[in-house]
Amino acid sequence: MEKIKIGIIGAGRIGKIHADNLLQMPQVEVVAVSDLFAGPELEEWASQRNIPLVTKDSGAVIAHPDIDAVFICSSTDTHVPLIKQAAQAGKHIFCEKPVSMDIRQTREAVETAKQAGVKLQIGFNRRFDHNFKRISEHVQGGTIGTPHIVKITSRDPNPPHKDYIRVSGGIFMDMMIHDFDMARYVSGSEIDEVYAHGGVLIDPVFAEYGDIDTAIVTLKFACGAMGVIDNSRQAVYGYDQRVEVFGSKGAVAVTNDYPNSAEISTAEGVFRDKPLHFFLERYQEAYRAETRIFIACIREDQPVPVNGIDGLQAELAALAAKLSFMLQRPVKVTEAMELAEQHAVFI
Q: In this complex, which beta carbon is closest to a copy of itself, that of residue 57 or of residue 335?
A: 335
Q: Applying CB under 8 A, what is the total number of residues that bind a copy of itself?
A: 73
Binding of a copy of itself by 130 (CB under 8 A): yes
What residues does 193 pair with on adjacent strands? 220, 332
Q: Could you tell me which stretch among 58-66, 68-76, 114-122, 271-279 binds a copy of itself (CB under 8 A)?
A: 271-279
Interacting span for a copy of itself (CB under 8 A) from 91-99, 160-168, 182-190, 273-281: 273-281
User: How many Cβ atoms sit within 10 Å of the Cβ of residue 61?
Assistant: 28
Q: Does 299 bind a copy of itself (CB under 8 A)?
A: no
Does 114 engage in binding with a copy of itself (CB under 8 A)? no
d(CA 55, CA 18) in angstroms, rounded, equals 18
What is the closest distance, in whole angstroms, from the C-beta atom of residue 23 to a copy of itself in the complex? 9
**Contacting a copy of itself (CB under 8 A), which of 122, 135, 186, 276?**
135
- Tell me if residue 26 falls in helix, strand or coil: coil
Instruction: Compute the least distance from the CB of residue 223 to a copy of itself, in Å.
Output: 10
325 burial via Cβ count (<10 Å: 0-12, 13-18, 19+): buried
Give the integer Cα–Cα distance in Å for 337 and 104. Answer: 9
Minimum CB separation of residue 6 from a copy of itself in Å reads 18
Residues facing residue 32 across a β-bridge: 7, 53
At closest approach, how far in Å is the CB of 299 from a copy of itself?
15
Convert 24-56 to b/e letters by CB count within 10 Å (16 or more is b).
Answer: ebeebbbbbbbbeebeeebeebbeeeebebbbe
Residues 52-81 that bind a copy of itself (CB under 8 A): none
Q: Which stretch binds a copy of itself (CB under 8 A): 84-92, 173-181, 249-257, 294-302?
A: 249-257
Select 111 or 281, whichever has its Cβ closest to a copy of itself.
281
Cβ proximity of 121 and 199 under 8 Å:
no
Q: What residues pair up with 155 in beta bridges, in sequence order?
A: 232, 240
For a copy of itself, the binding residues in 137-196 under the rule CB under 8 A are 138, 143-144, 146, 148-149, 151, 153, 155, 195
Candidates 307, 330, 346, 347: give the one binding a copy of itself (CB under 8 A). Answer: 330
Considering only residues 15, 169, 275, 308, which one is a binding residue for a copy of itself as defined by CB under 8 A?
Answer: 275
Which DSSP symbol is given to 68?
Answer: -
Q: Is 25 in the site for a copy of itself (CB under 8 A)?
A: no
Q: Which helix (H) or strand (E) holds 207?
A: helix 205-208
One of 2, 13, 40, 48 touching a copy of itself (CB under 8 A):
48
133 binds a copy of itself (CB under 8 A): yes
Distance in angstroms (rounded) separating the CA atoms of residues 36 and 39: 9
**By the rule CB under 8 A, 331 interacts with a copy of itself:** no
Q: Is 16 left (phi over 0), alpha (psi -120 to 50) or beta?
A: alpha
Smallest separation, CB 207 to a copy of itself (Å): 13
Nearest CB to a copy of itself, comparing residues 110 and 191 = 191
User: Closer CB to a copy of itself, residue 109 or residue 252?
Assistant: 252
Among 51, 165, 252, 331, binds a copy of itself (CB under 8 A): 252
Residue 303, number of CB atoms within 10 A of its CB: 8
Task: Count the alpha carbons within 13 Å of 15 in the hemisphere toward its beta carbon.
Answer: 23
Q: How far apart are CA 299 and CA 289, in angstroms?
A: 15
Letter for the amino acid at 61?
Answer: V
